[in-house]
Structure 1
Amino acid sequence: MSLIVSNGTAEGTILYQYNPSDTAGYAFVALFSITTIIHIVLMLWYRSWYFIPMILGGIMEAGGYYGRAWNHDNPKQIKAYVLYLLLTLSAPPFIAATIYMALTRIMTTLRAAHLSIFNVRFLTTTFVVIDIICFLAFLGGAGMQIAASASLQSAGRKVVLAGLGFQIICFLFFVYIAIRFHKRNLRGPGPLAEVQGVKWRKHSWALYLACLFMLVRNIFRIAEYTQGHEGVIARHEWFIYTFDATMMWLVMVVYATVHPGRLVRQVRKAEKQGEMIDGQELDGVEKEQDAGRQQWS
């Protein structure tokens, strides 16, 4: 079905199978705004600049659900729909980028980079590049879905599906890396894993929980795009708020509650109390990594 735009509204197609709820939309604008502000404060407090992508993702999520709330008064308003579609599809890669960097920070802070099955120096870069590819796919796919041609709309959905599938595969590999690191650090812990007051396990479980929420959201989106505009998901609004909005908000809540900056503070406190090996520096992870790879190979 072709999309015709006249005076800022969509003609010839149905953007939503229902009238979007303004109450739910504004509720998630508020939730994402509050958690984003909290993350800004925490980032400044812990000097954790790698949380900038998550903050940007939170701003984008808030803007996207403002678009849905805007559509309540005019469900055919194309500007509001584009705002929602582009921002809610593009925000998760930004949030995921912070999750990748959080794992790297855990490994290096514990001086246990040698326990990783993936070279820590390239871990963040590799997965952030993957995120950029997915972001471009989502951006392009979303743009194609608002085109006038029905064939372009169909191709846009396929592009988004391909991006989601690729993202899930790579994300599962990332989770595998995190699990293997966790197990190795339990069996043959790094120099800081057993220091009293360094609660690294809590941060690992927080990462798993955030990854679970991300995976649920991505699987839901695949189901949504597979069913198409006439599917069950497209006809019931509660799906999008339960399996997308709530999942992404919970990822931000997890990291606001268990912030990696606290682990860094715990390690620094242990250093001051002399509960660690003297003379080792955090930037010596390359030597540890080479030695560790020989041990675990």
Structure 2
Amino acid sequence: MSDFRKQLQTGCYALIEGHGTAYGYQPSLAAGIVFLALFGLSLLAHMVQMTWTRTWWCAVFSVGCLTEILGWVGRTWSAQCPYNMNAFLMQISTLIIAPTFFTAGIYILLGQFIHLLGRQSSILTPSLYLWIFCTCDVISLIVQAIGGAMASAETSKPNGNTDPGTHIMVAGIVFQMFSITVFVACAADFVRRCLRYRLLRTVSGSLVPLFAAMIFSVLCIYTRSIYRTIELSEGWSGYLITNERYFVALDGAMMVVAVVVFNVFHPGMLMPRGKGSESERESEMRSGVSSSCGLNGAGMEEY
């Protein structure tokens, strides 16, 4: 029996009645092909847009798409070979960490906003955003990867205990949710300052569409994190993890729109290039403070 199980896990066999898979179902081939196409097109578009606009930091979106593609290759492979553990490990180890690259791009983008509008627009400097939140993402990524590796190793063993690895994965995702929550609070403070000091008037063009795209992407990633947390908290035989439609809607679809929105509203194409003079910007700041606080320009000393 152990030899037969080993053959199932290393070979490519069709679904056998009475023998469950590590997924709890046979992954959809159609879903795999659709998401491979969507992430592939987004990857291609991001590479062209990044090169055309020379916004090289946008490479993080391309890396995220590539990681998603690897994961969906694994799921497409599993659609044909549902018992193959290499395919299972391939998809779980990549799809769990892919959003980290998207959030890194979002953190950099907010830093670009702050750099453009001035230090008064944020409680943190652009470099601090990058260091703090990207460090949190890396920690989350490492914790999730360790937990995923432990849990995946146990799924290939008869009566293996996946609980320790699963709990570690959940801890990593919860930590990522916490860091995103703090980031959202900082982004809300950024909006408050921009409105209060009328900073958008100091730049040519409008940041609103690009900022809206950033918030939309964050919400999609946050929704996915909530789903993943609940899914893994239920265990590997829970309701959510054994029903593919939830994974397709709350992970795959969320990640597609989270990255495609930056194809539609690409930072390199929409980020304003010019800004008002220093004296003009200071004048706008004083005007904003005076109207909102009833103070003269000296009121800015609080900030």
Q: Give the TM bin, normalised by the shorter chain.
A: 0.7 to 0.9
Q: Is the Cα contact below 8 Å between 1:50 and 1:98 reproduced in 2?
A: yes
Deviation at 1:68, TM superposition (A): 0.7
Q: Is the Cα contact below 8 Å between 1:210 and 1:254 reproduced in 2?
A: yes
Q: Which amino acid in 1 is paired with 2:181? A: L
Question: Does 115-124 or 16-25 show the bigger shift?
Answer: 115-124
Q: Is the Cα contact below 8 Å between 1:146 and 1:153 reproduced in 2?
A: yes
Q: Is the Cα contact below 8 Å between 1:85 and 1:142 reproduced in 2?
A: yes
* Alignment gaps of 5+ in structure 2: 12-18, 281-296
**CA separation of 1:201 and 1:14: change in aligned 2, threshold 3 A:** same
Q: Is the Cα contact below 8 Å between 2:70 and 2:90 reproduced in 1?
A: yes
Counterpart selection for 2:134 from 109, 128, 131: 128
Query: Counterparts in 2 of 1:207-286, with a 5 A limit?
Result: 207-264=214-271, 266-268=272-274, 276-277=276-277
**CA separation of 1:237 and 1:13: change in aligned 2, threshold 3 A:** closer
Residue 170 (structure 2) pairs with residue 170 (structure 1):
no
Deviation at 1:173, TM superposition (A): 0.6
Residue 87 (structure 2) pairs with residue 77 (structure 1):
no
Deviation at 1:220, TM superposition (A): 0.3
Q: Which residue of 1 aligns with 2:211?
A: 204
- 2:299 and 2:250 map into 1 onto residues whose CA distance is 39
**CA separation of 1:262 and 1:52: change in aligned 2, threshold 3 A:** same
Q: What TM-score results when the alignment is normalised by the length of structure 1?
A: 0.85
* Alignment gaps of 5+ in structure 1: 281-290
Query: Counterparts in 2 of 1:146-157, with a 5 A limit?
Result: 146-148=152-154, 153-157=162-166
Q: Deviations over 1:33-86 (max 9, x none)?
A: 100111111111121111122211100101101111111122110011011101
- 1:216 and 1:23 map into 2 onto residues whose CA distance is 24
Query: Counterparts in 2 of 1:30-49, with a 5 A limit?
Result: 30-49=37-56
Deviation at 1:196, TM superposition (A): 7.0
Deviation at 1:14, TM superposition (A): 3.3
Residue 74 (structure 2) pairs with residue 67 (structure 1):
yes
Deviation at 1:152, TM superposition (A): 5.4
Counterpart selection for 1:108 from 115, 118, 132: 115
Q: Which has the higher contact order (CA 8 A, sep 6+)?
A: 1
Q: Which residue of 2 aligns with 1:22?
A: 29
Q: Is the Cα contact below 8 Å between 2:112 and 2:126 reproduced in 1?
A: no
Q: Deviations over 1:174-201 (max 9, x none)?
A: 01111111111111033xx215742112
- 1:296 and 1:222 map into 2 onto residues whose CA distance is 40
Q: What TM-score results when the alignment is normalised by the length of structure 2?
A: 0.83
RMSD value, Cα: 2.7
Deviation at 1:245, TM superposition (A): 0.5
Secondary structure of the corresponding residue to residue 97 of structure 2: helix
Deviation at 1:156, TM superposition (A): 0.9
- 1:196 and 1:131 map into 2 onto residues whose CA distance is 31
- 1:36 and 1:82 map into 2 onto residues whose CA distance is 23
Question: Does 72-81 or 147-156 show the bigger shift?
Answer: 147-156
**CA separation of 1:296 and 1:182: change in aligned 2, threshold 3 A:** farther
Q: Which residue of 2 aligns with 1:6?
A: 6
